[in-house]
Amino acid sequence: MQLTSHGITDQGKVRKANEDALLIDEGHQVFAVADGLGGLPGGAYASQRIVELLKQTYSHVDAVEERADLGELIIAINRIVAKEGLDAHPFTGSGSTLTIAQIIGDQLLIGHVGDSAVYHLRGRDFQKITIDHTMEQELIDRMGEGARKMMPPEYPHTLTRCVGQDEAELRVDQTRLTIATGDRLLLCTDGLNKVLSSEEIQQILQLDKTPAVISQQLVDAANAKRGPDNITVIVVFIN
């Protein structure tokens, strides 16, 4: 399947450093975003190290070969990042979200840990494919949408799963979706989708523009709302 893509990572307007990282590998049709945990030392290192490990992995994989299991790949990366993080920061370690999307034929494979996200647009049908691994989402799952009224302010940003905090088995969400010509994909860190509404994201993603222009407009829109976090986006058109 043919595609065109573009990605941007931006520091935003408030943070003193950018702890996000991204991977675009059109040869293997693999895309990933990682958001280093700002509350821990080494967040930027963790996200960059994840991308480095992904590049190493796919450099040894044929362009038409499917990764047997994105979950296994993320678990292997987690073991490395967790060990290195604890070696560097024995009391806290480090950590990062990781969301990977790989296109094999007409299948979109997703491996996901944390609160970065993948969105799928087909015509006017726009949906978020991933589920956030946060205290907020856990409370909503247990109590319903009404739980938002009693939500502590830190819950939307408190992860329940991430890469790098535990060398033991990590639970990874995996999803498979059939895609078609004309579809558009968006991978992003929460500096975008916790600042812009789904309606605002959809409006920009469906513009008759290139992936590069749309990527920049998404980043600009988040920064126009004070850009409180690092912002990373990857826009993919299925041609």
Nearest in space to 234 (alpha carbons), one of 98, 1, 55, 33: 33
Question: What confidence tens digit (pLDDT) does each residue in 5-27 have?
Answer: 999 999 999 999 999 999 999 99
Dihedral angle over CA of 162, 163, 165, 169, nearest 10:
100
Nearest in space to 9 (alpha carbons), one of 236, 222, 226, 237: 222
Q: 46 with 37: CB under 8 angstroms?
A: yes
Dihedral sign, CA of 135, 136, 140, 143? positive
User: In whole angstroms, what separates CA 71 from the centre of its chain?
Assistant: 14
Nearest in space to 201 (alpha carbons), one of 87, 107, 88, 117: 117
d(CA 156, CA 162): 14
- Whether residue 66 has pLDDT greater than 80: no
Confidence of residue 61 (pLDDT cuts 50, 70, 90): confident
Q: Is 237 helix (H, G, I), strand (E, B) or coil?
A: strand
Q: Does 65 or 161 have the greater pLDDT score?
A: 161
The neighbour count for residue 197, using CB atoms within 10 Å, is 10
Dihedral sign, CA of 113, 114, 116, 122? positive
d(CA 18, CA 219): 14
d(CA 122, CA 130): 16
Q: How many residues does the chain have?
A: 239
Q: In this predicted structure, what is the pLDDT of residue 20?
A: 97
Question: What confidence tens digit (pLDDT) does each residue in 115-161 have?
Answer: 999 999 999 999 999 999 998 888 888 888 877 877 888 888 889 99
Q: Give the global pTM.
A: 0.94
Question: What confidence tens digit (pLDDT) does each residue in 215-232 have?
Answer: 999 999 999 999 999 999
Confidence of residue 68 (pLDDT cuts 50, 70, 90): low
Question: What confidence tens digit (pLDDT) does each residue in 25-54 have?
Answer: 999 999 999 999 987 778 889 999 999 999
Pairing of strands 20-25, 30-35: antiparallel
DSSP state of 28: T
In the beta sheet, which residues pair with residue 234? 7, 187
Question: What confidence tens digit (pLDDT) does each residue in 76-120 have?
Answer: 999 999 999 889 888 888 899 999 999 999 999 999 999 999 999
Q: In this predicted structure, what is the pLDDT of residue 67?
A: 55
Question: What confidence tens digit (pLDDT) does each residue in 169-226 have?
Answer: 799 999 999 999 999 999 999 999 999 999 999 999 999 999 999 999 999 999 999 9
Provide the total of helices (H) and of strands (E) in the chain, helices listed first.
Answer: 6, 10
Q: In this predicted structure, what is the pLDDT of residue 171?
A: 94
In the beta sheet, which residues pair with residue 185? 120, 236
Q: Which domains does the chain have, with CATH numbers?
A: 3-238 (3.60.40.10)
